[in-house]
Structure 1
Amino acid sequence: MLLWHTLATWFRRRYGKRVQKIPLDARSSCPNRDGTLSRAGCIFCNADGSGSGLGGLTLAEQWRIWRDKYTATDDDRLFMAYLQAFSNTYGPAKRLARLLDEVRSLPGCMGLAVGTRADCLDREKLALLAGCGLPEIWLELGLQSASDATLARLNRGHDAACVARAVQAAAAHGLQVCLHLMAGLPGETERDFLASLDWALALPIAGLKLHNVYVPRGTALAAAWAAGRYLPPGRDEYVDLLCAALPRIPSRIVLHRLQADPAPGELLGPAWAADKRGVITDIRRALAARNLWQGCRADVPDGRPDWYGG
């Protein structure tokens, strides 16, 4: 029995079957990497910008590799593209237009999720995304924290107000926005994380990704961790954070993720961050033991909605 509104549930209710997201690396850049804002990047960002490692291939080649892998075991599903690595709306609008043309040409592609930064969007780019013609469009924006002090520590290069403006503009264009939040950031407490969550929920968003902070190899965060200046949250601590967060989130909000997913070979610590299934099981059991579910302190206090499924 599921106690939160998963992306899988969202897709099955809309399309009647599973929808598989395929991660694509469009060899995008980032203003926080190319010197426009900084060359250091965010302190938690790895050298691949959370990419799939297939950035040397064309989008069509990457798509074919992943689609062949998934259809080998189950061909009764739909597929959508996920432009994941770095900031995919960075650069001129004509580059984004070319990317969208490539995505539309991918065989069997029914949707698109675009990962980017709030400061890499404008009206022209939002209009391109809204008008790309695919039935399922998600704009994924990294917020991480609503605290400007924390964002400065992370070397984000923008403030929370920038994110709020981007979300409002995207919603005005009819785009579904998924915000990313990180729990356990340097200098933050549970209260800070929940304050960021409440701030995000006041915006016209449709989805959330909640991430535990882990330490990726080769990052500024790794150096701080090695020097003893940063300690990532423990497994039980993160489960408790989720048990505090999920009840506040209205049932309409789609939870795209509840745990970060380290790339192979990048994780330095904590070791538990590699146990994705185990942590999800811990969250489910803790919620059930405490008689909690997504939205129980928001819009569905009387019981878990049956349509959560599971």
Structure 2
Amino acid sequence: MNQKPAYNDFSTFLRNHFECKVQKISLNAGFTCPNRDGVKGKGGCTYCNNQTFNPEYCKTEKSVKEQLEEGKLFFARKYPDMKYLAYFQAYTNTYSELEELKQKYEEALSVDGVVGLVIGTRPDCMPNELLDYLQQLNEKAFLLVEYGIESTNDATLKRINRGHTYAETVDAVQRTASRGILTGGHVILGLPGETHDDIVNQAERLSQLPLTTLKLHQLQLIRGTRMAHEFEEHPEEFHLYEVDEYIDLVIDYVERLRPDIVLERFVSQSPKELLIAPDWGLKNYEFTERVKKRMRERGAYQGKLYRY
């Protein structure tokens, strides 16, 4: 007898959308961010160093097509029949003139084997004019818009210099999902000032939004960031989770999350040379297996404590 999965995983979600194996290829399309160029602020979010998630082939001097072709070579050795999603990941990938955005998105979709787009952005960078275009694009190709939510707490958002409020997140997610576009979110668990209860309550708030997917990441302190400096000055203001403690936090969170939300990941891995803490020495898949094992031990599953 097949046991029901403990949570909705991203691999199953992709298999439901595609008949073939699909892999995301990260891109740096040369965009900036209103929190860096002075429109909203300077210096960006206090935790942010974009080097932490750019693969070697993501260089802004290379075109979108060149980056995708190099990414394809990297993955095709193992899976020659693989298809790809172009993942506009670095900085804010809806923050430019509409014509430039169209050109880059369509350049990506013109690459052989690319079957859709994942566009990472901020809640305060989604004008309706762009949504009009994305709605049309969504009829021709797979499209997932992923918003950096980070927290549902406005005091936290201010402290980490996000430059937007949670109300702006609610507005952007609702406007995007109302167009029939798959809408995702990204949150950081363990931001300074947030207690266990604050974090777990966040799951209930996010469950009220029309989110399709959600990424959870642990707070990581990265060299060269303002947050790293803050930690050096006031370590008592931070709670850096031990791995087993974080696993239990994730499970408490997932139990309160709407059952149909797809959980893409639970952790992030920053390059060792940039990471200050926490360094658990686990790869993503190893961490995920530990979460699954602990869920079995606890009899936990996604939505177990969700209040409809």
The TM-score normalised by the length of structure 2 is 0.92
Q: Deviations over 1:242-284 (max 9, x none)?
A: 1101122233211111111214532111111654233222211
Which residue matches 1:9? 12
Deviation at 1:17, TM superposition (A): 3.0
Matches within 5 A, 1:172-191: 172-191=178-197
Alignment partners' CA distance in 1, 2:251 and 2:187: 15
Per the alignment, in what secondary structure is the counterpart of residue 188 of structure 1? coil
Counterpart position of 2:278: 270
Task: Give the equivalent residue in structure 2 for 1:94.
Answer: 99
From 38, 41, 45, give the equivalent of 1:38: 41
Aligned CA distance change for structure 1 residues 51 and 129 (closer, same or farther; 3 Å): farther
Alignment of 1:225-304 (within 5 A): 225-227=231-233, 228=235, 229-263=237-271, 265-272=273-280, 275-298=283-306
For 1:90 and 1:125, the matched residues in 2 are separated by 10
Matches of residues 39-188 of structure 1 in structure 2 within 5 Å?
39-48=42-51, 50-52=53-55, 53-132=58-137, 133-188=139-194
Distance 1:191 1:273, change over 3 A: farther
Query: 2:46, 2:244 → 1: CA distance?
Result: 24
Instruction: Give the match's secondary structure for 1:241.
Output: helix
Cα 1:67–1:171 shift into 2, 3 Å: same
Q: Match of 1:35, as an amino acid?
A: G
Q: Note if contact 1:30-1:87 (Cα within 8 Å) is conserved in structure 2.
A: yes
| SS of aligned partner of 1:271 | coil
Instruction: Tell me: CA distance 1:49–1:73, structure 2 relative to 1, closer, same or farther (3 Å).
Output: closer
1:63 partner SS = helix
Q: Which runs of 5+ in 2 are unaligned?
A: none
* Counterpart AA for 1:120: C
Deviation at 1:295, TM superposition (A): 2.6
**Aligned equivalent of 2:222, options 192, 216, 221:** 216
Root mean square deviation of aligned Cα:
1.9
Q: Evaluate the alpha carbon distance shift between residue 81 and residue 299 of structure 1 in structure 2; reply closer, same or farther with a 3 A threshold.
A: farther
Secondary structure at 1:57 match in 2: coil
Deviates more, 1:286-295 or 1:150-159: 286-295
Q: How far did 1:99 drift?
A: 1.5
Any conservation in 2 of the 1:179–1:200 contact (CA below 8 Å)? no
**Which consecutive residues of structure 1, in runs of 5 or more, have no partner in the other structure?**
301-310
Check whether the contact 2:52–2:270 (CA below 8 A) recurs between aligned residues: no
CA contact (8 A) 2:52 2:271 kept: no
Query: 2:211 corresponds to which residue?
Result: 205
SS at match of 2:280: helix
- d(CA) in 2 for partners of 1:264, 1:61: 27
Q: Secondary structure at the match of 2:204?
A: helix
Are the equivalent residues in 2 in contact too, given 1:224–1:230 (CA < 8 A)? no
Matched length: 300
Shift of 1:76: 2.9
Structure 2 vs 1, CA of residues 105 and 16 (structure 1 numbering), >3 Å: closer, same or farther?
A: closer
TM-superposed deviation, 1:85 = 0.2
CA deviations on 1:200-250 (whole Å, 9 max, x unpaired) are 110111110111111111111111222324342221221111110112223
Cα pair distance change 1:28/1:135, threshold 3 Å? same
CA distance, structure 2, for counterparts of residue 84 and residue 35 of structure 1: 21
How far apart are residue 157 of structure 1 and its match? 0.5
